[in-house]
Chain A
Amino acid sequence: MFKLHKKIKKEPVVPDKLEEKIDYRIFGIIVVVVVTFQFYLYTFKSPDDHTVTFLASFIYSVTAFIAAIASFFIAKRYWNSEIFGKSYLALAFGMILNVLGEGIYYVLEQQSQIPSPSISDWASLSFYPLIFYHLAKNISFFKPTIKKTTKLFVILMPIVVTVVYAFVQYGKEQAADTTFYLGLAYIIGSTVILSAAILGAAVFRQGILGVPWLVLALGIVLLTVGDVWYSYLDVFNLYTVQHPVNLLWSAGFLVMAYALYKHKKVI
């Protein structure tokens, strides 16, 4: 018997609500890449080997540079627009200053000079006001109605983390110098931007723009944990380029690059 196998062409269905999902495989790839790299440094390289410092600086700079390129790309897309154009350009410059800071740190270390505290810290610390400008410009434009509990969290979180850090570190024999105050500057910077990023994710939560903001906040969480951990290690001279803290920065920059890709995709 003749059976008609006619394919019925389905009309494309317009989604009732726009949805954007996080691809968790990207996080998996980021984790595998940074852990493999760090494992390689830790297992196959001697701490005295000069290439270790180079490779550690290289991966930090490359990941920050990837995030910078992604930011420039978004800034170019929204060129001349007051909020997106300017704020993404600021973010891109912040990332570039991070690369510059790392480069200066590496050069000073190679010349047997003190790499930190040094001018490299000025470059690295400049990242915070620029990323804060990016977050504040976006959030303030949308003039969100913020719940009291969110407001309280946003204000208290940086204060609590900074006070705990200062309480734990201050008064230690090793801590009573510039290293302590420099660490404090990094912690204030990173916790303030973390607060702003969480606020941003909460503001855009219900819309598809909430997805890139959530991923951006996650990237900043990784950078903040890295900064707090580094500041602690630095005070006690425990930091090495093979230390796992390096994973957090590289992963943080790559997660931020993914957030920027998501932003480009949804808007």
Chain B
Amino acid sequence: MIHTPHFIDLARIADDMSGLDTLIAKSIELTINENIGKQTYEKIENRIFEKHGIPISQTLQDFTKFDSFLREFFGNSATHLVSA
């Protein structure tokens, strides 16, 4: 007989989410650094910190917010930067 768990391990899900965010943040950092330079990444990072006082990884939890920062710099083509 299979026993289904009676509880949801919220702490574990939160850890997994945070790990995923870090992974995405690292991947975006790498894409920007490799293609359009470290300075560009720092500029975006500074802008996010200046406006919200949070690091990029935290902005990724609200992807539309992160996208809006990219759009500030690169216009409507910004979404494709993340998918690149």
Contacts and interface: CB of A to CB of B under 8 A. Distances in A.
B40 interface: yes
Contact of B75 (A78, A85, A207): A207
Secondary structure at the B interface, as helix, strand, loop or mixed, is helix
A78 B51 contact: no
B34 A209 contact: no
Interface in B18-70: 33-40, 43, 47, 50-51
Nearest to B74: A207
Interface in A70-92: 77-78, 81-85
Which of A17, A77, A85, A267 has most B Cβ within 10 Å? A267
Given A78-B36, A143-B84, A208 B77 contact: no
B3 interface: no
B16 interface: no
A144 B37 contact: no
Nearest to B72: A18
Nearest to B73: A207
A18 B36 contact: no
B75 A205 contact: yes
A141 B34 CA distance: 12
Contacts of B83: 143
A78 B33 CA distance: 9
23 contacts: A18-B47, A18-B72, A81-B34, A81-B36, A83-B35, A83-B36, A84-B36, A84-B40, A141-B81, A142-B74, A142-B78, A142-B81, A143-B83, A144-B77, A205-B76, A206-B76, A207-B73, A207-B78, A209-B73, A266-B73, A267-B39, A267-B43, A267-B73
